[in-house]
Amino acid sequence: MTSLYAISDGKLRPAVRRALSNEKLIEDWVEADPSLLGLDAMIIGRQVPTDHGKFIDLLAMDATGGLIIIELKKDRTPREIVAQVLDYASWVRTLTTPEIYERAEKYLGSRLVTAFREKFGDGIPERLNASHSMLIVASELDAASRRIVEYLSEEHGLAINTVFFNVFEADGREWLTTDFLLDQGEVVDRSERKVRAPWSGYYFVNAGLGDHRSWEDMKRYSFISAGGGEFYSKRLQQLSVGDEVFVYDKGNGYIGYAAVTSEVVPAVEFVTQDGPLFDQPLAEPRMKRLEGPPEEAEYVVGVEWRRTVDPSNAKRFKGAFANQNIVCKLRDEATVDFLLSEFNVEKNKDTSVLSAKGE
């Protein structure tokens, strides 16, 4: 249960949780900004008609071309909404790439390839809808429905989750908070294990360059980072000392290969070989703006760079794996083979340990 307090004259005043007077507002807000649900995605349809006479509240697409069904509970019972979103998923999985183009371009009023590149900074995958996921948006779910969602995700590997919208009021002001029922990263990982190749042993890491992150700082002080919300920074917790990562620059390609040397800590606590990170002459000093509060702060993982290239010479090929998540497991065999070659990494046949050819 989420609690919220207003600070007034040095005292805490509890905000009162209340129902949203108009649930249509949530649909409007999410349509305008899917990141409210922690999604790096673009909306490609609203009130999308299915072949069964029903309408999906919102349909989105992520950077991999996967589809996301977003359904608001509205006035339906909790069990009705779970059954409804599963029914929608059974229809969405049948959509072909041409059908998705047709529906998306009718909604967008423009070419899908153009909108996709503007959103993700990369070309659209040739095949769309290789995977799909489901998000139920609700102010609450009963215990039985929670168990059903957990069971479908944890036991059967379905990419289904619930996002709770909570509205709080205090002193005439209103706040909106969102919480996931399940960890979304784990939901996606369980789903991928059912349909994708075995894990290669390498991790994909999104560098998130721009705004307040500099590739020069990352190389000079031996780190990778994420922040601006727990949805992003928490992904760094997947990395342990010794893990090997390929770092990706969104819209360009792969720019680095490294081994993890220290696990995640707040950037303000990270110590380089020259001293505390924030005491160094950073190429991008705006990074220091994210030293607090904890839920919004920048977090850092220490690495030893084995190979790096300038973003202008990023390694890529048509169809190379890319993902909107900060960290995920690399499973695409073609991408792994390409990266091993481009970054001069070979597999030691005797020990099966992966190492770089020289330093």
Q: Are residues 150 and 208 in the same domain?
A: no
Q: Report d(CA 207, CA 271) in Å as an integer.
A: 19
**Whose CA is closest to 150, among 186, 182, 188?**
182
Query: Structure pTM?
Result: 0.61
Q: Does 10 reside within a domain?
A: no
- Tokens read off for 300: 């850092």
Q: Quick check: 36 and 51 in contact, CB under 8 A?
A: no
Residue 15's pLDDT is what? 77
End of a domain among 166, 195, 224? 195
Q: Is 5 in a helix, a strand, or coil? A: strand
Of the candidates 195, 211, 245, which is a domain's last residue? 195
The total number of structural domains in the chain stands at 2
| Predicted pLDDT of residue 155 | 84
- Do 168 and 280 share a structural domain? no
pLDDT, position 79 = 77
Q: What is the pLDDT of residue 275?
A: 94
- Note whether 49 and 188 are same-domain residues: yes
Q: Round to the nearest angstrom and report the end-to-end CA distance of the chain.
A: 51
pLDDT the model gives residue 1: 57
Per-residue burial over 50-87, b if 16 or more Cβ lie within 10 Å, else e, is eeeeeebbbbbbbbbbbbbbbbbbeeeebeebbebbee
Residue 324 is assigned to a structural domain of this protein: yes
Q: What is the pLDDT of residue 197?
A: 67
| Rounded Cα distance, 231 and 219, in Å | 24
- Co-location of 220 and 150 in the same domain: no
Give residue 98's pLDDT: 93
Do 248 and 185 share a domain, yes or no? Answer: no
pLDDT in tens, the chain (359 residues): 567 777 777 777 777 776 666 667 888 989 999 888 878 899 999 999 999 899 999 999 988 888 999 998 877 777 788 899 999 999 999 999 999 999 999 999 999 999 998 888 777 888 898 888 999 988 777 788 888 888 988 888 888 998 888 777 777 777 777 777 887 777 776 666 665 567 899 999 999 898 789 999 999 999 999 988 777 788 899 999 999 999 999 889 999 999 999 999 999 999 999 999 999 999 988 887 666 567 778 999 999 999 999 999 999 998 888 877 889 889 888 999 999 999 999 764 333 334 443 33
Distance between CA atoms of 81 and 137, rounded to whole angstroms? Answer: 10
3 domain-assigned: no
Residues 56, 21 share a domain: yes
Check residue 349 and give its pLDDT. 37
Which distant-in-sequence residues (6+ apart) come within 8 Å of 122 by Cβ? 63, 116, 250, 251, 322
Q: Which domain holds residue 65?
A: 16-195
Which of 172, 195, 218 marks a domain boundary?
A: 195
